[in-house]
Amino acid sequence: MKSKETNSIRTQSERSQHREHSVPIYMTSSFVFESAEHGRELFAEEVPGNIYTRFSNPNTTEFVEKMCKLENAEEGFAFASGMAAVFSGMAALLKSGDHVLASRSLFGSTHQILTKIFPKWGIEHTYVDADKPETWEKEIKPNTKMIFVETPSNPSLEIIDLEWLGKLKQKHNLILNVDNCFSTPIIQRPADYGADLVTHSATKFIDGQGRVIGGIVVGKKELIAEIRFFARQTGPALSPFNAWILSKSLETLQLRIEKHSANALQLAETLKENSEILFVKYPFLPTHPSYELAKKQMKYGGGIVTIRVKGGYERAKRFLDSLNICSLSANLGDTRTIVTHPASTTHSKLTEEERIAVGIFPDLVRISVGLESVEDIINDIKQAIEKSK
C-alpha cells in the first residue's frame, strides 16, 4: 500500500483519449448505454459502470476512492453536505425502535437530528460524556445499534479514546460511527481502531479553502451497500464539480494539516500566557484535560483552538468586532483564520443548559487557525483582546 501522501495525489480516474494530466470535470447528468442490453446489465448491476450522476460519476468515484485509501476503509459514498452524510449514514442503518449511544458534544445539526427528527420515527438516543467513559457501558441497551461520536468535538475539543471505543463496540456488537471532521485521516484513522463508519463534512479541512459544501461516509463494505441504496433512492449525491474540487484539495491535505496544526499550537501557546483569557483549549497543550490521550491517538493537534475571554458574552462580541484580519464566519478549516462565537451561531439552537453541559459558555470563542503567517494571526488576536478590554 502506498503512503497517504502518494495516494492522495496519485489516485486518479482513468485518462480520456485526450491524455489530460489533471482530471476533467464530468458535468453530465447521465451516461449512455452501448446497447439496450448494456443498459439492462448496468441496472441489474451485472457489469460495473456509471448510469446516472445521482448514483455515481467519475469525479465522485475518484474522491471516494482517495478518501477510502486515506481512511483505510473499504468503500464509501459522497454526499452534497456533511449533514447529508451524517443523516444518511444513520438513517440508512437505523429503524424504528433502535437506540443510538452518542457523545454529548456534537455538531449542532447532528444534535438536532438526534433530538428533534429521529424521535418522530421512533429512533431514540442517550448522550454520554467524554470525560466519564465508565458510564458508557451502562447506557448500552438491548436495542442499541450504533455509537456515534465526534473526537475532537466541535467546538468543545473533547477527546474520546478510539482504542477503548473500538473494544466497547466489539464487545456489544454495535456499529461505531466516528465524525472525523476535525482530524481528517492525516491526524487519525478511526477505522484502524475498529470504527465501522467514518463520517466527514468535506466542507471543512478537506476542501480547506472555503469553496464548496460536501460530505462523505466511508467504512465497511456491507454497511456502505445499505447507505448507497438509501442515498441512490433519496438523492443526496455530491455534484461532479464539488467532487472535482474536493479530490484536488486532497492533494494538499497533508501539507495544510501540518501547517494548520503548527500555527494553531503556536497561537495556543502564546494565548496561554495572556491574563485576559480565562482558558485556552487545544489538544496538544498540556493543560488540555485529555492531553495524554490526544498525544496517543492524534498525529497533529489540528487547526482549532478555543478560548474563553474574561468579561462574558459582551467581551466576546467586542473581541470579534475588534479583529482586523481574521474573518467572522461560521465555517472552519479554511486557509483563512475564522473566528466564531458558537453559542450565538452554530450552537444557538441548543438550550443554554445543553450548551453549558458541553462547555459552550457565553464567553467561548472558536478559532479556526488558517495558513496566514502565524505572527499576523497572533498580532491580530492580541490587539483585539486589548481593544475589547
> Given the rule CB under 6 A, which residues bind ligand PLP?
81-83, 86, 107, 110, 150, 154, 179, 181, 201, 203-204, 213, 215
Residue 334 gets which letter from DSSP? Answer: -
In the bound state with ligand PLP, the residue whose beta carbon lies nearer, of 109 and 388, is: 109
In the bound state with ligand PLP, the residue whose beta carbon lies nearer, of 154 and 188, is: 154
Alpha-carbon distance 216 to 179, whole Å? 10
Alpha-carbon distance 329 to 368, whole Å? 10
If we measure between CA atoms, which residue out of 57, 61, 7, 71 comes closest to residue 28?
57
Report the nearest approach of ligand PLP to the CB of residue 128 (Å): 17
Report the nearest approach of ligand PLP to the CB of residue 21 (Å): 30
SS3 category, 359: coil
Report the nearest approach of ligand PLP to the CB of residue 271 (Å): 22
Quote the Cα angle for 13-17-20, to 5°. Answer: 60
In the bound state with ligand PLP, the residue whose beta carbon lies nearer, of 66 and 366, is: 366
In the bound state with ligand PLP, the residue whose beta carbon lies nearer, of 55 and 205, is: 205
- Report CA torsion sign: 368, 372, 377, 378: positive
Residue 336 gets which letter from DSSP? Answer: S
In the bound state with ligand PLP, the residue whose beta carbon lies nearer, of 315 and 347, is: 347
Q: In this structure, what C-alpha cell is assigned to residue 173?
A: 456488537
Nearby residues of 3 by Cβ (< 8 Å), 6 or more positions away: none
Report the nearest approach of ligand PLP to the CB of residue 110 (Å): 6
Residue 342 gets which letter from DSSP? Answer: G
In the bound state with ligand PLP, the residue whose beta carbon lies nearer, of 76 and 82, is: 82
Nearest residue to ligand PLP, scored by beta-carbon proximity: 82
Report the nearest approach of ligand PLP to the CB of residue 82 (Å): 2
Report the nearest approach of ligand PLP to the CB of residue 108 (Å): 8
Residue 74 gets which letter from DSSP? Answer: S
